[in-house]
């Protein structure tokens, strides 16, 4: 037991989880922006934009996240020398956020679209009746209700994002949790099971409140109909 | 309700003209975007023939891409079978009328759904490697980790499928003298499985996608082999792109199958075929198909 505890003095486990939380936060913000934009394209009356939104979702929803992240490091950085900052490690961190954003935006788009499907026909008809064109109708009438209807699926995307932030390991973000777990197990192979459960329970602690919170919020904020 | 024809009226002559103009602008924007990327790539010499010709050679496919694809498919196929089995066992467990069994199954399912697949994979890889139980530790780590996660998701699918059935199904089973388990096994779960078939197929897409995580633990699957090829030929960008295209084609075919199944099955099953979730996020959403 003492051995196990000294392990935590050598390795900073909370700091590793903090990296995952940061990855999740930034990727969540950006993918919400990009996903909303894509959803707007998909419900717009303009065929070429509809096509672009659908193509984006179909491509990135069917690509493994691991490839997208690896592409950021090996393709963008390694072969094209794309750099998002001068700081070497921060660059990998940002490329990982970029990869996570691109992948999860497709799911955010679909979540919002499923939220749009919860908005009754009458709302859009009323919006048209008072003379609103597509963009004002979407901004003032449809999207606010769609977001409230999409909280549960958006919460699922956030949970997936928290767990998927470990895939940043494929993008040379060595400070995140799964990479640290690997290092710790390699250092203390005799403690492989307690080390795994430490990290696993860390993720359970991160994920479960998000699930409870979004379930609560989706009930609380559901539009009464 | 289909979103497309709700947000705007059937356009009149003026809006038809506006839509046409915006459509052309949108198309030009897309063309411009593609042209810009091509221009950038060309500027860095990425479109040079030498970067792409390796994919026309037989040995590239024979020694790198096809063996990679094969081990990806092998791991995914085994994981599909084992996760359906795992899902059936724990799905039945969650529906059992014996409280301790229900709790135990619930605990296992909730735990494995909350832990990242990659974390399990790395743990299993290192633990199996140390124990010398199996020869091919990365392969089994991939298969077992995929089974534990996706099996748990499938268990939840089966549970919600059974709960979506009309009460009369179970009552009829009990009325003709079946035990609870018999009615579950022979009446409810088969119907739930059919109602859940689209979501199940979507879960197979998740399995195939997540098998690429094996890349991180050195399992020689498609992505790993594409990287090796790319390092050798100096065309990492191109080989990763080809690997991605292969994944997209297979997954897109599976996703389309799921959508087809959901329209087909909406006519026949007693259970609520969850087509409303299939249109939306749940279809191939990494967390699975359940709203928490």
Residue A210 sits in a domain whose CATH number is 1.10.3720.10
Q: pLDDT tens digit string along A103-139?
A: 999 999 999 999 998 888 888 889 888 988 888 988 9
Lowest mean pLDDT among A4-8, A33-37, B20-24, B90-94: A4-8
Neighbour tally for A85: CB within 10 Å:
12
Res B108: pLDDT: 94
Examine residue A165 and state whether it is found in any structural domain, yes or no: yes
Domain that holds residue A15: 2-220
User: What distance in Å separates residue B173's CA from the closest CA in chain A?
Assistant: 34
User: What distance in Å separates residue B192's CA from the closest CA in chain A?
Assistant: 22
User: What distance in Å separates residue A107's CA from the closest CA in chain B?
Assistant: 6
Q: How far, rounded to the nearest angstrom, does the alpha carbon of residue B52 sit from its chain's CA centroid? A: 29
Which residues of chain A does B209 touch, with a Cβ-Cβ cutoff of 8 Å? Answer: 62-65
Give SS3 for A11. Answer: coil
In chain A, how many domains are there? Answer: 1
Shortest CA distance from B213: residue in chain A: A66
Give the CA angle between residues B87, B89, B92 to the nearest 5°. Answer: 100
Q: Which of B114, B138, B205, B231 to mutate to test the interface with A (most CBs of A within 10 A)?
A: B114
Examine residue A72 and state whether it is found in any structural domain, yes or no: yes
Examine residue A78 and state whether it is found in any structural domain, yes or no: yes
In the predicted model, what is the mean pLDDT of residues B13-40? 89
Per-residue pLDDT band for A1 (boundaries 50, 70, 90) equals: low
Q: Which of A41, A43, A45, A213 to mutate to test the interface with B (most CBs of B within 10 A)?
A: A45
Whole-structure pTM value = 0.88
Q: pLDDT tens digit string along A152-204?
A: 999 999 999 999 999 998 888 888 899 999 889 888 878 888 999 999 999 99
Examine residue A180 and state whether it is found in any structural domain, yes or no: yes
CB contact under 8 A, A74 and B236: yes
**Complex ipTM value:** 0.89
Shortest CA distance from A157: residue in chain B: B287
Q: pLDDT tens digit string along B130-188?
A: 888 888 889 999 999 999 999 999 999 999 999 888 989 999 999 999 998 899 989 99
Structure tokens at B194: 């059919």
Q: What percent of chain A has pLDDT over 90?
A: 53
C-alpha pair distances (Å), B151 with each of A201, B71, B80, B158, B217: 19, 20, 9, 10, 21
CB contact under 8 A, B247 and A208: no
Res B278: pLDDT: 37
Shortest CA distance from B226: residue in chain A: A67
Res B288: pLDDT: 35
More confident residue, A82 or A106: A106
Q: What is the 3-state secondary structure (H, E, C) of B239-285?
A: HHHHHHHHHHHHHHHHHHHHHHHHHHHCCCCCCCCCHHHHHCHHHHC
**Average pLDDT of chain A to the nearest whole number:** 90
Q: pLDDT tens digit string along A85-103?
A: 788 888 899 999 999 999 9
Per-residue pLDDT band for B5 (boundaries 50, 70, 90) equals: low
CB contact under 8 A, B244 and A58: no
| DSSP assignments along chain B, one per residue | --GGGTSSPSP-HHHHHHHHHHHHHHHHHHHHHHHHHHHHHHHTTTT-HHHHGGGGSHHHIIIIIHHHHHHHHHHHHHHHHHHHHHHHHHHHHHH-SSHHHHHHHHHHHHHHHHS-HHHHHHHHHHHHHHHT--S-HHHHHHHHHHHHHHHHHHHHHHHHHHHTS-HHHHHHHHHTT--HHHHIIIIIHHHHHHHHHHHHHHHHHHHHHHGGGGGGGT---HHHHHHHHHHHHT-HHHHHHHHHHHHHHHHHHHHHHHHHHHHHHTTT-SS---HHHHHTGGGG-TT-S---
Q: pLDDT tens digit string along A17-60?
A: 999 999 999 999 999 999 999 999 998 888 899 999 999 999 99
CB contact under 8 A, B119 and A166: yes
Structure tokens at A129: 């009746």
Examine residue A225 and state whether it is found in any structural domain, yes or no: no
Size of interface A-B (CB pairs under 8 A): 226
Examine residue A147 and state whether it is found in any structural domain, yes or no: yes
Give the CA angle between residues B219, B220, B226 to the nearest 5°. Answer: 130
Lowest mean pLDDT among A144-148, B13-17, B43-47, B114-118: B43-47
Shortest CA distance from A211: residue in chain B: B292
Which of A67, A157, A170 lies at the smallest CB-CB distance from B243?
A: A67
CB contact under 8 A, B119 and A186: no
Rounded CA-CA distance A150/A169 in Å is: 30
Res B75: pLDDT: 93
CB contact under 8 A, A66 and B205: no
């Amino acid at each position: 037991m003492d051995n196990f505890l000294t392990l935590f003095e050598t390795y900073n486990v909370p700091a590793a989880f903090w990296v995952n939380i940061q990855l999740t936060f930034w990727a969540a913000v950006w993918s919400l922006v990009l996903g909303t934009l894509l959803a707007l394209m998909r419900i717009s009356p303009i065929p070429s934009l509809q096509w672009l939104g659908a193509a984006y979702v179909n491509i990135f929803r069917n690509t493994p996240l691991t490839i997208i992240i690896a592409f950021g490091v090996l393709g963008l950085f390694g072969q094209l020398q794309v750099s998002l900052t001068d700081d070497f490690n921060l660059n990998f961190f940002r490329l990982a956020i970029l990869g996570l954003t691109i992948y999860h935006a497709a799911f955010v788009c679909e979540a919002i679209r499923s939220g749009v499907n919860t908005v009754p026909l009458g709302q859009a008809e009323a919006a048209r009746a008072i003379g609103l064109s597509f963009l004002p109708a979407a901004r003032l009438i449809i999207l606010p209700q769609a977001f409230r209807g999409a909280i549960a699926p958006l919460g699922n995307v956030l949970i997936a994002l928290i767990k998927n932030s470990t895939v940043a390991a494929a993008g040379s973000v060595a400070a995140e949790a799964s990479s640290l777990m690997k290092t710790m197990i390699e250092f203390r192979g005799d403690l492989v099971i307690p080390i795994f459960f430490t990290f696993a329970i860390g993720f359970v602690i991160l994920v479960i409140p998000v699930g409870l919170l979004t379930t609560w919020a989706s009930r609380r904020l559901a539009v009464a109909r | 309700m289909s979103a497309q024809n709700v947000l705007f009226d059937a356009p009149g002559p003026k809006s038809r003209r506006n839509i046409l103009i915006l459509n052309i602008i949108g198309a030009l924007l897309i063309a411009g975007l593609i042209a810009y990327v091509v221009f950038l790539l060309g500027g860095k010499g990425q479109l040079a023939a030498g970067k792409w010709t390796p994919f026309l050679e037989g040995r590239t496919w024979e020694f790198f891409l096809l063996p990679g694809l094969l081990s990806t498919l092998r791991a995914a196929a085994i994981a599909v079978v084992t996760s359906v089995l795992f899902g059936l066992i724990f799905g039945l467990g969650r529906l059992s009328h014996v409280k301790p069994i229900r709790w135990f199954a619930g605990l296992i399912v909730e735990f494995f759904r909350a832990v990242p697949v990659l974390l399990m994979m790395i743990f299993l890889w290192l633990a199996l490697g140390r124990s010398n139980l199996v020869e091919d530790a990365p392969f089994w780590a991939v298969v077992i980790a995929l089974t534990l996660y996706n099996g748990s998701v499938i268990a939840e699918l089966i549970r919600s499928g059974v709960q979506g059935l009309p009460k009369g199904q179970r009552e009829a089973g009990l009325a003709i003298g079946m035990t609870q388990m018999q009615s579950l096994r022979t009446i409810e779960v088969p119907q739930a499985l059919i109602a859940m078939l689209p979501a199940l197929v979507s879960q197979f897409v998740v399995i195939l996608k997540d098998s690429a995580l094996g890349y991180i633990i050195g399992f020689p699957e498609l992505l790993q082999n594409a990287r090796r090829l790319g390092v050798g030929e100096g065309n990492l960008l191109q080989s990763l792109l080809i690997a991605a295209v292969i994944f997209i084609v297979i997954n897109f075919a599976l996703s389309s199958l799921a959508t087809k199944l959901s329209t087909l099955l909406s006519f026949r099953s007693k259970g609520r075929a969850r087509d409303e979730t299939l249109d939306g996020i749940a279809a191939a959403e990494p967390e699975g198909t359940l709203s928490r």
